Structure 1
Amino acid sequence: MQTARINKELEVFIAGVGATQSLLMAFYSFYERKKDYRNLLLCLFFVAITIRLAKSILWVYLDSTPIWVINFGFMAHAVSGPALFLYALHFLFPRKWSWFNLLHFLPGVLLLLSITTLSLDGFWYAGGYTSLLFHQISYSFLGLILLGVHFFSKRSTPLTHSHIIWILSLLIGTAVFQFLYFSNYILGITPYLLGPIIYLPFIYFLAFLLFKNPSLLKYNPSKKHQNIKLSERELNAHVKQLNLLMQEQKLFLDPNCTLNKVGKALKLPSYLVSYIVNNGIGKSFPDFLNGYRIEEAKQKLLHPDYAHIKIANIAYDCGFNSLSSFNSFFKKTENTTPSKFRDNHS
């Protein structure tokens, strides 16, 4: 087993910061549970990863670590894979919770019951750790399969762009994290603490996504979406009709534009408009509206008649409720600020 070659204190610091942030994510997921068992699964996943990271630090730098602490860390490792898999399963394919799902945690329960008896030479080095790593990499692989099935299935519950990035980052990032432990012990090609080190930017990226969009933990797709059956031709026709409406009536200029208002203009139910935007255009409804608002703002910023108009006034005229949200979305889509955009094209 290889160990990382960087400064010892730096290794501990990076792994420790990652574990701390993971624990904070666990607390946040628990706080947002609100009768949503998916967030409890996510909380369990982050707690398990926190314990696993702490065990890795102790394993490398504290020779006198009690065996039960080591076993507790391995137990947490065994729980992390099933917890994330079940979260992804019920996130991508919403369904009622079944108590049979608890069978996924049976290996973790058995390890917990044996926490004081399992030894390194008699169990972990004798195939126990190898089995654990294959167990976890299998769950990561199954999670990625779920993601692929969801993307290619026409009957899948629609996801917003933000939710796609969230679940994609969560599954791929964790798969990389699990593989690094696997490649260290099974393949012998990566340092032992590379997993905890790589985990740091991953967990902070997830925290950033939650900071930008707290609704990621409040995903509750309408049951009506699950009953919608539109052919690709019909969906494309509705998308064309929706875009034509926006171009001609410019409903997006209304800062209080809602799905209901757009639905009335199209003579369609609001849930169907939501489905068309999510699946036909691949955006959330707010992102869809703001996309049109940004294009309108760009035209005004470039037009000579608006050369002396304040950017804030242009933002409000284009349907934004605040200058900060306008600046944020403008920079996100154009990779520059509105003022620089105007200066560069003047």
Structure 2
Amino acid sequence: MNTALVLIIFSSIAVTSCGFLASYFLFIKKQHRVKDVTLGFLFIAIAFRIAKSIFYYALPEISPLGVGLGFFGFACIGPLALIYFSINQTNEFKVKPIQLLHLIFPITGFTIILINSNFAYDLYLLANISLAAYLGFIASQFVFKSKAAELTKWHKALFYALVVLSIILIYQLLGENINTYAIGIGLSSLVMYFLFFYALQSPVVVKKSSAKALPTELLQKIKVAIEEDKIFMQPAISLAQFAEAIDTPTYLVSKATKSIYNKSFPEVINSFRIQSIKQKLSQPEFANEKIEDLAYDVGFNTASTFYNAFKKETSMSPREYQAQIFSKN
């Protein structure tokens, strides 16, 4: 078996695997529907781009339709990644007319290639630049600023994988011979394998089934106690005290908070305390309020614990957060 055939099989399996994973997100997983569909289309877009490289390597006389579909998938990677990173955990996302502008470049480029494939190289180069720009924006807004605290390991792995993929595709496009092109296919396939296997083992992406589902009544009782009764404002509230207050075993409370908020009980309590303080810091009447007093009001016992929790939640100090809020008003 020659090297070219091995590369084609290796890369084709990678594309097929991502196709299966995309089908899972599009048609089976229903935990966060909009996020799942977006991730499914993102995997399809990546698969289209790599599939085009495989076909071009195996059959240099690939049709304009194949080249166009590869371009369309390539040009959609950036917009889909931006949408995926923008959607929060509550699955709230509404398409606004202005967001449809992201489709102009993919659709226009696809049409141009169908009409005259001689423009394919230039359009693929522009797609590389476009993806780099999208990744730069995602980095500035979601990875290296305050929102980075909200990112899961999966989000970070996806971002860096897309960065590596972007570099590989630029290397492939600017390469001067078929060997460079082949190396690009192999390295791109490795990125797809990485995303495939990382997604399979990530509970954020592929939800693991639990041996026994927690009662809905229990989950609701805990949500009411935390979010409506604001039991988190009690100073030094412990897991045992909380469990006793709602007449529930501690191990069930611990499992339930992890199920609802994907955080441990102390992390949930501190998170809601921080959210309460953030609301006050965004209001002008609290502009001159002593930060430590606000922390004590929501249940923190020490200033150091509060500052550490606030920094972990927002990646900035309370005054920096307050200044950022007021600067936008």
Q: TM-score, normalised by structure 1?
A: 0.57
Query: Contact 1:251/1:257 (CA < 8 Å) preserved in 2?
Result: no
Q: 1:257 deviation in Å?
A: 5.9
Change over 3 Å in CA distance of 1:245–1:109 after alignment to 2 = same
Assess, with a 3 A threshold, how the Cα gap between structure 1 residues 38 and 248 changes in structure 2: closer, same or farther.
closer
Matched, 1:180 2:163: no
8 Å CA contact 1:141, 1:175 repeated in 2: no
Matched, 1:137 2:132: yes
Instruction: Tell me what 1:198 maps to.
Output: 191
Q: CA deviation at 1:254?
A: 5.0
Q: 1:96 — aligned with what?
A: 94
- Residues of 1 paired with 2:100 and 2:234: CA distance? 43
Q: Distance in 2 between matches of 1:274 and 1:98?
A: 36
Q: CA deviation at 1:113?
A: 2.5
Q: C-alpha separation between the residues in 2 aligned to 1:74 and 1:202?
A: 21
* CA contact 2:45–2:73 (8 Å) conserved in 1: yes
Residue of structure 1 equivalent to 2:143: 148
1:111 equivalent to 2:146? Answer: no
Pair 13,72 (structure 1): closer, same or farther in 2 beyond 3 Å? same
Q: Is the 8 A contact 1:169 1:206 kept in 2?
A: no
CA contact (8 A) 1:184 1:192 kept: yes
Pairing 1:277–2:270 present: no
Alignment of 1:259-274 (within 5 A): 259=257
Go from structure 1 to structure 2 and tell me whether the alpha carbon gap of 1:211 and 1:83 turns closer, same or farther (over 3 Å shift). closer
Alignment of 1:171 onto 2:159: yes
- Residues 257 and 265 in structure 2, CA contact (< 8 A), matched pair in contact too: no
Q: How does 1:22-61 map to 2 (within 5 A)?
A: 22-31=18-27, 32=29, 36-61=33-58
Matched residue of 2:87: which SS? helix
**CA 1:61–1:171: 2 relative to 1, 3 Å:** same
Distance 1:245 1:24, change over 3 A: same
Contact 2:30–2:36 under 8 Å retained in 1: yes
Code of the aligned partner of 2:190: I
CA distance in 2, matches of 1:135, 1:36: 27
The Cα shift of 1:48 comes to 1.2
Residue by residue over 1:65-110, the C-alpha shift from the partner in whole angstroms, topping out at 9 and shown as x without a partner, is: 2122112211111112111111111237954332321211111111
1:86 alignment counterpart: 83
Matched pairs, number? 242
State how far apart, in whole Å, the 2-side matches of 1:144 and 1:243 are: 36
Give the structure 1 partner of residue 323 of structure 2: none
Q: What SS does the corresponding residue of 2:74 show, helix, strand or coil?
A: helix
The amino acid across from 1:37 in the alignment is V
CA contact (8 A) 2:109 2:123 kept: no
Q: CA deviation at 1:64?
A: 2.5
In structure 1, runs of 5+ residues without a counterpart are 1-5, 216-223, 229-234, 261-269, 282-346
The whole-number CA distance in structure 1 between the counterparts of 2:32 and 2:114 is: 35
Counterparts of 2:106 and 2:135 in 1: how far apart (Å)?
Answer: 16
Amino acid at match of 2:108: L
Which range is displaced more, 138-147 or 98-107? Answer: 138-147
* Identity rate, percent: 16
- CA distance in 1: counterparts of 2:88 and 2:198, whole angstroms: 19
Per mean C-alpha deviation after superposition, the further-off stretch among 88-97 and 7-16 is 88-97
Q: Deviations over 1:260-296 (max 9, x none)?
A: 9xxxxxxxxx98x978524848xxxxxxxxxxxxxxx
Residue among 51, 70, 75 paired with 1:73:
70
Query: 2:266, 2:98 → 1: CA distance?
Result: 35
**Structure 2 residue identity aligned to 1:110:** T
The alpha-carbon distance between structure 1 residues 112 and 277, as it changes in their structure 2 partners (threshold 3 A), is same
Contact kept? 1:14, 1:197, Cα under 8 Å: no
Give the drift of 1:164: 0.5
What does the per-residue CA deviation read over 1:106-159, in whole Å, with 9 as the maximum and x for residues that have no partner?
11111233342132xx3133x32221111112112222223236x625xx9x85
CA 1:278–1:24 in structure 2 vs 1: closer, same or farther (change >3 Å)? Answer: farther
Tell me the amino acid that sits aligned with residue 184 of structure 2.
Y
Q: Which amino acid in 1 is paired with 2:9?
A: F
CA contact (8 A) 1:238 1:276 kept: no
Residues 148, 187 of structure 1: alpha-carbon distance in 2 compared, 3 angstrom cutoff: farther
How much has 1:243 moved relative to structure 2? 6.0
TM-score in terms of structure 2 length: 0.59
Q: Name the structure 2 match of 1:15.
A: 11
Q: CA deviation at 1:60?
A: 1.0
Which whole-Å CA distance do the structure 2 matches of 1:275 and 1:135 have between them? 42
Unmatched segments (≥5 aa) in structure 2: 211-222, 272-329
